[in-house]
Structure 1
């Protein structure tokens, strides 16, 4: 094992231990509040006696975000982006096909299927665990779900960048030479199928945290979608003086176009791009805690992969089941594991003939 690999392993190990503390933090704070107030909600509360119940219209909005609501929002914003030329004619037929398939397939097939079979299977695996956490007050349930869901995705995302073996499963999301609604769901199907927090959320919903999960999922969808948008909606928070304090807190708490666009940059040489960091999805604060983030309040001039070969959409979606025919591609048969680590050998002029020519002239 090289020194760099050993150091990275040690960092991942250390950060994993910190993460365990972060996972239990909201649970510990919840029980501390119970101790201070002398309350024991697990003895009296039922699913019919929630400490918080959203108005029907608000509940309907969050419920529909998981079905037609968010796709409708993304479609409207995407049309705006496209109409004002924010894709800069980079949305080719191949890119367009990939984005559309990646948008539709997980929403109408993969995630609903995982949730359905998960909730059907859990009663057999954990028959006594159904609704065991239904007594948890809504806001504490919200905090527990938010940390559990997003911190798990942070690690899932980070490991796909830091472990070469996993990189090609996530590469599809970074190959787009643009940012916008069109590529928000752009992922390899296997990366999506093993999306770790999907299974965690299904399990916690079965255990009684379904109502908090509804709101966490809705808010997270809005934040992550907005962070991918090519509309720089966060810029006024950095340029308008009286909004600066809000912007300072916001960019450290959640993902914004400035921080997440940096993660999709095609280079780190400009001091703006940080594709080997800024891993946060809903919360950017994980990057600050683990030292993987940078904040510049600027936006990259180019996105994607410098070594991108515009591989066939089906190869990007279904690798390694289907491989690319593009020679030298990471997705091709016997292709490099990580394309940007392949050394490019520059051709140098051959000087021998020139020296020989000079010698002949001198001889004359």
Structure 2
């Protein structure tokens, strides 16, 4: 059975909505602690921009450039074995995204493109596609994926995308599917392997934690998307099996709506005491992560 990219995207959308319904039932999908009016706007705009415009456009551009300059290579890898195709996507797409993500926390100008993802003071499947509109357009891994699709691996990409996005959506959700498994002693060896292989709620929530002195926070690490193994391999992993007490950005001026979506077109706010319209419409409340 072969899936088209369109069918794959539809399945991902169903999985995304499924996690949304789970949060709606368990952790108040549309009323997260400390959310603001701007949060919803950023999430809707960036999600629609990536899924409807940016990602399809990159695939089309790569295909057009390939046909114009390298037509002889179109479909050249179509008969590649599954294992080889998997290796190419893990290295050229997932590992590349790890390094892009890591760079986004290492260089100030690039962090400004990524900050919107961390500006939310909660975890949720709502954050999966939340970023500056230019962040994904510049993301090397999407362009590399486009190249692999042009080379004939679209059949594999369709399945790969479903698996990767399921892991990422689950890792962002505040309905923590891993929590109950940590309490089952017989599964300890299995979870030891799982949490060092793929991103889980515990490992990825650590990356979104607000306060550096929180033992469950690793803001400058845990960059993995599909594979957490990259963090293990490159020394940025922190595994606590716990969840941060709070989420968001520490010790930076509040970001405006325009800054989150369109920096550097909209300038960075540098006033630590600025009052951002629509910010923090609700009082902070104790955060609870729901066990899956």
Structure 2 counterpart of 1:97: 41
Tell me, in whole angstroms, the C-alpha distance in 2 between the residues paired with 1:157 and 1:112: 21
Report the CA distance shift for 1:327/1:253 in structure 2 as closer, same or farther (over 3 A).
same
Query: Is the CA contact (8 Å cut-off) linking 1:134 and 1:207 kept in structure 2?
Result: yes
Tell me, in whole angstroms, the C-alpha distance in 2 between the residues paired with 1:101 and 1:329: 27
Query: Is the CA contact (8 Å cut-off) linking 2:23 and 2:174 kept in structure 1?
Result: yes
The alignment yields a C-alpha RMSD, in angstroms, of 2.2
Match of 1:272, SS?
coil
Query: Shift in Å at residue 326 of structure 1?
Result: 6.7
Structure 2 counterpart of 1:353: none
TM-score w.r.t. structure 1 length? 0.70
Structure 1 counterpart of 2:154: 210
TM-score w.r.t. structure 2 length? 0.86
Report the CA distance shift for 1:162/1:325 in structure 2 as closer, same or farther (over 3 A).
closer
Alignment of 1:341-356 (within 5 A): none
Structure 2 counterpart of 1:84: 26
Tell me, in whole angstroms, the C-alpha distance in 2 between the residues paired with 1:307 and 1:236: 33
Query: Is the CA contact (8 Å cut-off) linking 2:197 and 2:229 kept in structure 1?
Result: yes
Q: 2:219 aligns with which of 266, 275, 280?
A: 275
Query: Shift in Å at residue 279 of structure 1?
Result: 0.6
Structure 1 counterpart of 2:15: 73
Query: Is the CA contact (8 Å cut-off) linking 1:227 and 1:257 kept in structure 2?
Result: yes
Tell me, in whole angstroms, the C-alpha distance in 2 between the residues paired with 1:91 and 1:76: 21
Query: Shift in Å at residue 150 of structure 1?
Result: 0.4
Q: 2:143 aligns with which of 199, 203, 207?
A: 199
Matched, 1:289 2:229: no
Q: 1:107 aligns with which of 36, 46, 51?
A: 51
Matched, 1:235 2:163: no
Tell me, in whole angstroms, the C-alpha distance in 2 between the residues paired with 1:153 and 1:168: 17
Query: Shift in Å at residue 324 of structure 1?
Result: 5.3
Matched, 1:176 2:117: no
More contact order relative to length (CA 8 Å, sep ≥ 6) = 2
Report the CA distance shift for 1:218/1:63 in structure 2 as closer, same or farther (over 3 A).
farther
Structure 2 counterpart of 1:139: 83
Q: 1:315 aligns with which of 259, 263, 268?
A: 259
Structure 1 counterpart of 2:7: 64
Tell me, in whole angstroms, the C-alpha distance in 2 between the residues paired with 1:265 and 1:89: 14
Structure 1 counterpart of 2:104: 160
Report the CA distance shift for 1:65/1:313 in structure 2 as closer, same or farther (over 3 A).
farther
Query: Is the CA contact (8 Å cut-off) linking 1:169 and 1:191 kept in structure 2?
Result: yes
Structure 2 counterpart of 1:265: 209
Q: Based on CA coordinates, which of the two structures has the bigger radius of gyration? A: 1
Structure 2 counterpart of 1:188: 132
Report the CA distance shift for 1:312/1:264 in structure 2 as closer, same or farther (over 3 A).
same
Count of matched residue positions in the alignment of Structure 1 and Structure 2: 273
Residues 223-244 of structure 1 show CA distances to partners (whole Å, capped at 9, x for unaligned) of: 1111101111001221111222
After alignment, is 211-220 or 139-148 more displaced? 139-148
Tell me, in whole angstroms, the C-alpha distance in 1 between the residues paired with 2:251 and 2:234: 29
Alignment gaps of 5+ in structure 1: 1-53, 333-364
Tell me, in whole angstroms, the C-alpha distance in 2 between the residues paired with 1:245 and 1:186: 34
Residues 344-364 of structure 1 show CA distances to partners (whole Å, capped at 9, x for unaligned) of: xxxxxxxxxxxxxxxxxxxxx
Report the CA distance shift for 1:222/1:270 in structure 2 as closer, same or farther (over 3 A).
same
**Larger helix proportion, structure 1 or 2?**
1
Query: Shift in Å at residue 310 of structure 1?
Result: 4.5
